[in-house]
Amino acid sequence: MGFEAYMKNPYVVVIKITLITLVLITFTGCSNKELYESTQPKYNENECRKLQPHEYEKCINQKAKSYKEYKKEREEIIKQGYA
């Protein structure tokens, strides 16, 4: 069996498609999380100190939502849209 015949073998094609799909899904998952985290505001004490006293407390206590929380809320909203 030559190389061209081997590459056209239905089993080889299925394996190639499966591997490509798994790689794409893996990279997409990482990219979404990294993109979300990179766009979240970074609240640190130095930045909060620049604010007025009444805004300082709010700034210090403010925490960004984790990617897991964001993803859960997003999925709930999407489900509601299809209901």
Domain total for the chain? 1
- Mean of the pLDDT values across residues 48-75? 84
Model confidence at 83, pLDDT cuts 50, 70, 90, reads low
Residue 16: which domain range?
Answer: 3-82
User: Global pTM?
Assistant: 0.42
Alpha-carbon distance 72 to 78, whole Å? 10
3-class state of residue 78 by DSSP:
helix
pLDDT at 72: 92
Residue 4 CA: distances (Å) to CA of 13, 27, 54:
12, 30, 72
- Mean of the pLDDT values across residues 12-33? 79
Three-state helix/strand/coil letters over 46-83: HHHHCCCHHHHHHHHHCCCCCHHHHHHHHHHHHHHHHC
